[in-house]
Structures are given as C-alpha cells and as structure tokens.
Amino acid sequence: MAPKLVEQVTTAAGLGALAGAALGAGRGRRSTGLAALAGAAVLGASELVARRRQRPDEIPVLPHRILASAAIAAPAGWVAGAVARQPASRVALAAGSVAGALGVRPQKVLLGPVVGLLAGRALGRYGSSPAVAAAAAVVAYRVTAAALFRNPQVTLLAERADAGALPFVVPLAARGRYVGTDYMRELADRTGGAYTRDARDVGIVDTLADLAGPQFDPAFVHPLVREFYEHTTRFTLDIVPEWRMWVRPGYLLYSALMARPLGQANVPMNQRQALRGVVSRIDTVDRGDDAPLVRGWIRSYADDDAPIYVGVYTTYRHDGRGYVSVGFPLPESNFTATLEPRNRAGGGLVLTSGSDLAHPGHYLTFVDDDRGELTSLAVTGFGETLDVYPDGDELRADHAFSVFGLPFLVLRYRIRRAQPVDLGVLAESIGQIGR
C-alpha cells in the first residue's frame, strides 16, 4: 500500500480500537480487549475499502463516514457516563444534538435532538451503556438525515489542484491562527509585495467593465453605483443588521467561540453593536510583474479596531462573463464567495450566488502555500445576494444571506459620500490650538 493509505488505515484502526474499548467497557479486561481488536479491524477495513473505491475529487462513501462518526461518538459517550455520570438517555440526546448542530442545515439542527431523544428512550429500556447510546444515536441521526436530505451540503471539488484550475477560488490564507486587520500587511511581507495601508481613491474592483456579460451591461449602471465600486474609499457606510430569531443563539455561540478568536467574519449581532461605529478601509498589495493589485476591504469597529471582516476582492472572466470573487482568509484556508453580476432596475447592481452557472457559489478551500496546491469544497447550501441601488444622492444596499433556502440575515447599508476635509478650516483650527 502507498504510505499515505497506510497512514489513513492505521489512524482509522486506532480510532476503531478506542471505540471498541469504549463499547466493551465494564465487561472485563478480556471482553474489552477483544472489542478493541474488533473495532480496529472493522474500521481499518472500512477505511481501506473506502479509500480504494474513492474516485478523484470525491469524499469517502457515506456508510464509511457514518461508521467513523459512530467511532468518534462512542468514546465521548463513555467519558460522559464514567466521568460526568450522565445516564444513557441524556448522552443519546446530547450526541444527537451535537450531530445535528454539525449538520449546519436548520432542518438537521432540529432533527438531531429529536433522533437523540427517541434513541435514548429506546435504548434506556435495555440498559444500554452511555457509549452504546452515543454511537447508536449518531448512527440513527446520520441514516435518517441521509434519507431525508439527499442533496449534499458540501461537495469535494478538487484535491491538491493548481490554483489556475479553480479561478472562482481566492487562494489566499492566513498563516497564523488570527486574521485581523493587519492581514494585508502580513500578506505583503510574505509575498514581497508593496503594501499600502488605507489606499486612497481605490475601489473594490478596478472597473465594472471587467464584469460585462450577458446578464450585466455596465452602461446601464447609475454613475453613483459605479463610483462606489470603482472608488469605494470615497464613501462611508452605516450598517443595520437584521438577524432572524431562530439563528441568533447559534450565532452568539459562533461569535464567541470562532469569529472573535479568529479576527474574521464577526458581523454585528444587533443595532447596539453597530452603533459602535464601523471603520472601513482598503489596503492593497502590489506584487508587480503585471500581477493584479490585491485589494483587501477591511471593516472594523471604530471604538477598538476589532475586526468585523477582512475580504480580498478579485474579478475574473470566464466564457465571456465577468465574476466577483470575495475571499475571506482563514487559518491555512479561505472561504470564497463567487458572485454573478446582474443589472437592476433604476441603475442598481446585483451580485448573487443564486445562479445556474457553474462558477457562482461558496467554497471552503485548504491552501498549501508550500506546494501551491488547493483542496476545495463547494458549500452548496449557502446563498448570498448583494443589491446596491441609488436612493436620491445616497446609495442603499441590502446584503441577504440564506442557508438551504432559509433566510437568516440581512445587512442593510446606508452608503454616503465621505465629507472631504476642508484644508482651510483645518489650518485655522491648528493655528488656534497653537495660540
């Protein structure tokens, strides 16, 4: 066997042994040892078969993934029973709930506790151990979810591919565990490019002409909308977040455990947070050699410069169409939104991932900088639409997000031209301070 396959099978066998020992615990050393050997043999063999049947750019088959999930749940269930002294029914409920939460899809999140509760009640009649309860609840949930929700949440697009083969992915990752507002400076240091903080009179795109295609004609865009995209730094933005009630508890947990520690994608939860003020700037990295200018749109809170998000904006053309790709750097990876431009009545511009074309969508990509390779997943259930339109002498924007067709957030923006600094007034003020 190839060295990588040997490593994968060995790891799976170790996990299987741990799961078998957890399932056989309490029945004597001999029984526990035999259960560990059986677990190692079963999961190791399953890994070997799954990997050999795996085709390029595919994930292992579902039965093996379900078996692996049960192997992870069993030791966790044993710990919950032996250390936390939790009964099997509660362990099953917790295991089903966690499995559902990992499913992300709202329907799956709701399904998890239901399956866990039913599994706990059924197993409680037979005096099953917490380890058995956890594994059984996870298996029951995974099988039920697979039967009810047949469209995949994620799809493996490419494994160890060249960046040129995935033009809809922004191949820029964070080297450390924290992204933060200095990401573009760190990118310049890493790539040897020329860094400009808070670049003047630049936009998130170079020109809307790069986006022309069958669904979008730049000639019909209102001049103010065009100016905003091509000269974004001339404008200030006020934001009002509108979260759906059902997603708020999950987002609060995500914000505390992931967004703030990562320094990325920490959207205001409510208007009170938004009233802290939002500072917006564009940092650039010029890599020379005819390479396109890297534009990072950075938004942070005005009171402490805590990052809201760091997005790297790029455009590209494919089959006579232009697209906007926004990459959000993550540790060793990137989450990219690729959006199709469309004209809007009244001179507005819509960017959307809701398209029948192949490229628009959302992609989670592991970036191997040393080898210049990408391993990319398509996040098929995520939806996004940005609608920018003129409103008198200002602009409005509605940035809507959904997951599996369920809306969960709309960011409403008021976009105004920044007030230019009056140099005469500034000089007079400085003179008064001097006196």
273 pLDDT higher than 80: no
Neighbours of 4 (CB within 10 A): 9
- Which structure tokens are listed for 259? 């967004």
Cα(12)–Cα(8) distance, integer angstroms: 6
Q: Could you give the 3-state DSSP secondary structure of residue 26?
A: coil
For position 138, what pLDDT does the model report? 93
pLDDT tier, 128 (very low <50, low <70, confident <90, very high otherwise): confident
| CB burial string 307-341: b at 16+ within 10 A, e below | bbbbbbbbbbeeeebbbbbbbbbbeebbbbbbbbb
Q: Which residues pair with 42 in a beta bridge?
A: none
Cα(155)–Cα(167) distance, integer angstroms: 17
434 pLDDT higher than 60: no
For position 410, what pLDDT does the model report? 96
Percentage above 70 pLDDT, the chain: 95
Q: What is the mean pLDDT of residues 67-90?
A: 91
DSSP 160: E
DSSP 410: E
Which of 15-29, 122-136, 150-164, 258-272 shows the lowest mean pLDDT across its residues? 150-164
Q: Which uninterrupted H or E stretch holds 173?
A: none
Q: Which residues pair with 377 in a beta bridge?
A: 156, 364
Nearest CA to 338 out of 350, 348, 352 is that of: 352
Q: Residues 330-373: pLDDT tens digits? A: 999 999 999 999 999 999 999 999 999 999 999 999 999 888 89
In a 13 Å sphere around the CA of 184, the CA atoms on its Cβ side amount to 28
Which of 213-222, 337-346, 383-392, 422-431 shows the lowest mean pLDDT across its residues? 422-431
Helix, strand, coil percent values for the chain (each to nearest 5): 45, 30, 30
Cα(400)–Cα(388) distance, integer angstroms: 11
Q: Are 295 and 284 in contact (CB under 8 A)?
A: yes
User: What is the residue-wise DSSP string for 331-374?
Assistant: BTEEEEEEEEEEEETTTEEEEES--SSSS-EEEEEEEETTTTEE
DSSP 213: B
pLDDT tier, 419 (very low <50, low <70, confident <90, very high otherwise): low
For position 387, what pLDDT does the model report? 98
Cα(73)–Cα(259) distance, integer angstroms: 26
Q: Residues 183-227: pLDDT tens digits? A: 999 999 998 999 999 999 999 999 999 999 999 999 999 999 999
- Which structure tokens are listed for 352? 């959307």
For position 433, what pLDDT does the model report? 38
| pTM confidence score | 0.74
309 pLDDT higher than 60: yes
For position 435, what pLDDT does the model report? 41
For position 396, what pLDDT does the model report? 97
232 pLDDT higher than 70: yes
In a 13 Å sphere around the CA of 15, the CA atoms on its Cβ side amount to 21
pLDDT tier, 290 (very low <50, low <70, confident <90, very high otherwise): confident
DSSP 266: -
User: What is the residue-wise DSSP string for 72-130?
Assistant: HHHHHHHHHHHTS---HHHHHHHHHHHHHHHT-SHHHHHHHHHHHHHHHHHHHTTT--H
In a 13 Å sphere around the CA of 93, the CA atoms on its Cβ side amount to 8
